[in-house]
Amino acid sequence: MSTNRVLAYLAEHQQRHLEQLCDWLRIPSISSVAEHRDDVRRAASFAADELRDLGLATEIIETGGHPLVYAESEQRPDRKTLLFYGHYDVQPVVPLDLWQQPPFEPLLRDGRIYARGASDDKGQVYCHLKAVEAYVRQNLPLPVNVKFIIEGEEECGGHGIERFTDANRKRLACDAVVISDTTLYNAETPAVCYSLKGLSYFEIRLRGPAADLHSGSFGGTVQNPGNAICEIVAQLKDGDGRCRVPGFYDDVLDLDAAERAAFAALNYTDDVLREETGAPGPFGERGYTTLERMWARPTCDVNGLSSGYGGEGAKTIIPATAVAKVSMRLVPKQRPAAIAAAFQRYVESICPPGVQCEVVNLHNADPVLIERDAPLMQAGLRALAAGFEAQPVFVREGGSIPIVGTFQRCLQVPVLLLGYGLSTDNIHSPNEKLEIRNFACGCRTSALLFKETAAPV
């Protein structure tokens, strides 16, 4: 009965919820850009004010960088406890000219909400808040105790939440962690995610001459950092698409036959890949299907490359510097620290003579693997099936959520990854959006999850 009232409330108040979400999305909480520091704080306050209004004991916690928002409902010992995690910070918005509207002026159009952070992650985490609201505003008892921890450093690799989690295990104690920061399998198919990739991210900096040189006067006399960075990048992978860093594959957990069959049954075709990416076709490590590479094989990719002149027309120089940003996405059993050390050694060993080479490890994250037969996962599947009115599937993700490994280690509880985004939501890219239907179904799913996990999990 109360479930019907909760779902009816969510339907009735959806328009207001979307407008409030737009207010949150208007705050440009770009965590990696110093000039947005105050905006990041305003986005934290927005979430904190709302949680406080719902009657949760709420605090903004300083950790040295961008603050954490922490909130909890009254904790009754006879109820299960869910800890909801999300992030209120967003990625930078360049290149700005490719947006159809300014990224912090949300646009509701064609059943979508366009804005930076709409899908990653404000729109998704907001579903959990609105699920709580549907109970609280109708004076219905929450079927579970809830705790919220919403961070502002997920996108910039900050460590505040890690330190806080490690030092506050009692406070964060719960029966399960729930996170909505991933995706459905596709528009018709909701999904519980059971594996995230880890990450090891580097910047390779090369210095040659003290300043750009005339390429006629000095070309051929000194090493060119632009050429040198290309030599390095060209040796990161072989012709079969395999990473050449020694030992890179040593710890990779191979897929078993059942998992390969489950991936194959999802029927991810080349045409779907073309549609989702706009790329001419699939490409990658030989011997694996697209989904296997996307979800269960480690990768090594240039994320940025710069050297010399990129403007209009010709400018004849030997550039003074070159930079490559390179990420390795890691899969279960690979250890970021070991991979990082191996990468550093390898790049130094292949750096051509005549340049100074600095290899800087910007951030690392652990890969994640979650048991699929835990009762919590079944509860997640039931909530999704009812919330989205469609049969959910298990998926993995190629993306990373650095804190998940820390939660597993410090809290020793299962983690449920219930994504409400789509892989075509343009996260980290111009024109990020969230489907309004997925927001609505997400709110329902979160509300239903309280009931589904109230019984012993």
Q: Smallest distance from the beta carbon of 420 to ligand BES, in angstroms?
A: 11
Strand duo 195-196 + 368-369: pairing: antiparallel
Residue 85: which of 169, 178, 176, 164 has the closest Cα? 178
CA atoms within 13 A on the CB side of 58: 18
Return d(Cα 185, Cα 397) in angstroms, integer: 10
182 binds, among Zn ion, ligand BES, none (CB under 5 to 8 A by kind): ligand BES
Q: Does 200 bind ligand BES (CB under 6 A)?
A: no
Residue 380: which H helix or E strand, with range? helix 375-388
CA 83 to chain centre: 18
Q: Does 432 bind ligand BES (CB under 6 A)?
A: no
Q: Does 155 bind ligand BES (CB under 6 A)?
A: yes
Per-residue burial over 258-287, b if 16 or more Cβ lie within 10 Å, else e, is ebbebbeebebeeeebeeeeeeeeeebbee
DSSP state, residue 168: -
Which residues from 143-182 bind Zn ion, rule CB under 5 A?
181
The residue from 121, 153, 259, 366 that contacts Zn ion (CB under 5 A) is 121
77: amino acid identity, one letter: P
The DSSP code sequence of 339-361 is: HHHHHHHHHHHHPPTTSEEEEEE
Q: Does 400 bind ligand BES (CB under 6 A)?
A: yes
Q: Smallest distance from the beta carbon of 26 to Zn ion, in angstroms?
A: 19
Cβ-closest position to ligand BES: 399
Binding mask 102-141 for ligand BES (x = CB under 6 A): ------------------xx--------------------
Write the CA distances from 318 to 23, 231, 310, 387, integer angstroms. 48, 16, 13, 59
Percent helix, strand, coil in the chain, to 5, is: 35, 20, 40
**For ligand BES, which is the closer residue by CB, 66 or 79?**
66
Tell me how long the chain is. Answer: 457
Strand partners, 150: 69, 86
**For Zn ion, which is the closer residue by CB, 181 or 452?**
181
Q: Does 352 bind ligand BES (CB under 6 A)?
A: no
432 binds, among ligand BES, Zn ion, none (CB under 5 to 8 A by kind): none
Binding mask 65-94 for ligand BES (x = CB under 6 A): ------------------------------
The residue from 143, 198, 402, 414 that contacts ligand BES (CB under 6 A) is 402
Q: Smallest distance from the beta carbon of 452 to Zn ion, in angstroms?
A: 24
400 binds, among ligand BES, Zn ion, none (CB under 5 to 8 A by kind): ligand BES
**For ligand BES, which is the closer residue by CB, 209 or 402?**
402
Which range in 40-48, 74-82, 113-121, 189-197 contacts Zn ion by CB under 5 A?
Answer: 113-121
397 binds, among ligand BES, Zn ion, none (CB under 5 to 8 A by kind): ligand BES
Provide long-range contacts, Cβ within 8 A and 24+ apart, for 248-253: 248/298, 248/300, 248/328, 248/339, 248/342, 249/298, 251/333, 251/334, 251/335, 251/338, 252/297, 252/298, 252/331, 252/333, 252/334, 253/331, 253/332, 253/333, 253/369
Q: Does 241 bind ligand BES (CB under 6 A)?
A: no
Return d(Cα 183, Cα 190) in angstroms, integer: 8
Q: Smallest distance from the beta carbon of 439 to ligand BES, in angstroms?
A: 16
Return d(Cα 185, Cα 78) in angstroms, integer: 35
Return d(Cα 252, Cα 236) in angstroms, integer: 18
100: amino acid identity, one letter: Q
438 binds, among ligand BES, Zn ion, none (CB under 5 to 8 A by kind): none
Which range in 65-73, 203-211, 352-360, 392-400 contacts ligand BES by CB under 6 A?
Answer: 392-400
Binding-residue total with Zn ion (CB under 5 A): 3
365 binds, among ligand BES, Zn ion, none (CB under 5 to 8 A by kind): ligand BES
The residue from 183, 321, 334, 446 that contacts ligand BES (CB under 6 A) is 183
**For ligand BES, which is the closer residue by CB, 154 or 452?**
154
Q: Does 154 bind ligand BES (CB under 6 A)?
A: yes
Residues sharing a CB contact under 8 Å with residue 77, sequence separation 6 or more, in sequence order: none
In this structure, the number of other CB atoms found within 10 A of the CB of residue 311 comes to 6
Return residues touching Zn ion (CB under 5 A): 120-121, 181
List residues near ligand BES by CB under 6 A: 120-121, 154-155, 157, 181-183, 199, 363, 365, 397, 399-402
